């Protein structure tokens, strides 16, 4: 199973943005050192909290500081850009990173961004679909490409520089199962990123989602590959649940206020028309299907998703600045130390060896170490 890390990022408007940008970028080599497989960053243009106008530029800086971790946009908002520029920039990033780029795309979920560009949601979705078709053609074509669509028209455009990865770099799409998005993902052989806690069909059960995607793949003569399906959620871990909640409760509610102000109230309400005064950190986390707790809680969350949905290829951690940078790094470390190995057992034999040792000592009436499957993280 692959484990990746996503950052919008969000920072309080009172903070020095220059320092925040560099802190964000410096986190990428750290998560690489912990063994995470990929890092993703978003694109936003308004609102004051999510100040990331160009994920490709940020990731090019990250490429110079790292050597293994894959680097993805999450997402480039296609309605705001000419598709030629998107294809050209991501191909360039792929060369700068020696083939580590992933193009995550979307229509833009931020209401204030769409108002800024005067594009409504229905138009944005149509623009994304048309742009994705053009981008794939440009990335794959050796000959000049012409296009006469609803939103873009051009003749004889060709990338001077195709992607470093051959035949092209991977594309990815965040989706909770809309028919149009699943069809587009199948059409272009995209990775799927499913945010938990949005629509939450069946309370986090996505079996219909996957059966619909399999049907879409059949229409386009593709194979639906579960290893390229990733579930997305927020995680914050500490040594105890009490410590985790103490670390982040204030930050969760501070950031919730921002998202409520820009139109995301239904995603935070435990029930329809729940007043803001009744919202608590615990109710928000439960509604959004996030994890605040210990490594054992994260393990249980992933295991439950596997039981409910069958296999999937990875988990993308969405982490916000609910706590200090030091505590955030500690959370990421705990996840890497105790959660990731549980789902990549094929890389290790140490648990089997611990079982052998435990069985050896059991006849003497005592087991010298915890092999019950718990994290046993007391003491750091």
Quote the pLDDT of residue 370: 58
Mean of all residue pLDDT scores within the chain: 92
The model's pTM: 0.92
Task: Give the separation between CA 280 and CA 277, rounded to whole angstroms.
Answer: 8
Query: Whose CA is closest to 235, among 191, 283, 178, 301?
Result: 301
Instruction: Read off the pLDDT of residues 221-257 as tens digits, 9 standing for 90 and up.
Output: 999 999 999 999 999 999 999 999 999 999 999 999 9
**pLDDT-flagged residues of the chain (< 70):** 199-203, 362-380
Burial of residue 189, with CB atoms counted within 10 A of its CB: 0-12 exposed, 13-18 middle, 19 or more buried? middle
Quote the pLDDT of residue 200: 53
Instruction: Read off the pLDDT of residues 357-373 as tens digits, 9 standing for 90 and up.
Output: 777 776 666 655 554 55
Q: Where are the domains of the chain?
A: 2-362
Quote the pLDDT of residue 369: 57
**What homologous superfamily does CATH list for 2-362?**
Luciferase-like domain (3.20.20.30)
Q: Which two tokens stand for residue 132?
A: 């994705």
Q: Which helix (H) or strand (E) holds 62?
A: helix 55-65
Q: How far apart are the first and last CA of the chain?
A: 25
Quote the pLDDT of residue 192: 97
Residue 177 Ramachandran class (φ > 0 left, ψ -120 to 50 alpha, else beta)? left
Burial of residue 242, with CB atoms counted within 10 A of its CB: 0-12 exposed, 13-18 middle, 19 or more buried? exposed
Q: Which two tokens stand for residue 13?
A: 């408007």
């Amino acid at each position: 199973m692959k484990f990746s890390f996503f950052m919008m990022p969000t920072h309080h408007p009172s903070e020095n943005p220059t320092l925040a940008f560099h802190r964000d970028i410096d986190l990428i080599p750290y998560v690489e050192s912990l063994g995470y497989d990929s890092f993703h960053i978003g694109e936003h243009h308004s609102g004051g909290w999510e100040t990331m106008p160009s994920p490709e530029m940020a990731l090019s800086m990250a490429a110079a500081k790292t050597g293994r971790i894959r680097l993805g946009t999450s997402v480039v908002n296609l309605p705001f850009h000419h598709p030629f520029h998107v294809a050209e920039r991501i191909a360039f990033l792929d060369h700068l990173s020696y083939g580590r780029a992933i193009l995550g795309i979307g229509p833009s979920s931020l209401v204030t961004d769409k108002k800024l560009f005067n594009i409504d949601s229905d138009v944005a979705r149509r623009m994304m679909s048309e742009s994705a078709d053009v981008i794939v053609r440009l990335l794959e074509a050796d000959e000049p490409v012409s296009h006469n669509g609803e939103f873009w028209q051009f003749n004889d455009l060709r990338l001077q520089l195709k992607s470093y990865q051959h035949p092209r770099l991977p594309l990815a799409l965040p989706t909770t199962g809309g028919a149009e998005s699943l069809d587009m993902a199948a059409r272009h052989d995209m990775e799927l990123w499913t945010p938990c806690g949005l629509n939450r069909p069946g309370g986090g059960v996505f079996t219909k989602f996957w059966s619909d995607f399999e049907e879409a793949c059949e229409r386009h003569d593709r194979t639906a590959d579960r290893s390229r399906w990733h579930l997305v959620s927020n995680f914050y871990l500490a040594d105890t649940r009490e410590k985790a909640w103490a670390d982040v409760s204030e930050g969760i509610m501070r950031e919730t206020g921002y998202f409520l102000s820009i139109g995301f109230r239904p995603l935070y309400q435990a029930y329809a028309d729940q007043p803001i005064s009744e919202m608590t950190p615990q109710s928000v986390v439960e509604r959004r299907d996030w994890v605040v707790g210990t490594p054992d809680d994260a393990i249980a969350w992933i295991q439950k998703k596997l039981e409910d949905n069958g296999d999937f290829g990875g988990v993308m951690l969405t982490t916000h600045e609910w706590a200090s940078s030091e505590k955030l790094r500690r959370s990421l470390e705990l996840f890497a130390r105790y959660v990731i190995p549980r789902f990549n057992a094929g890389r290790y034999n140490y648990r089997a060896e611990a079982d052998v040792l435990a069985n050896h000592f059991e006849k003497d009436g005592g087991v010298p170490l915890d092999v019950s499957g718990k994290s046993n993280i007391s003491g750091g």
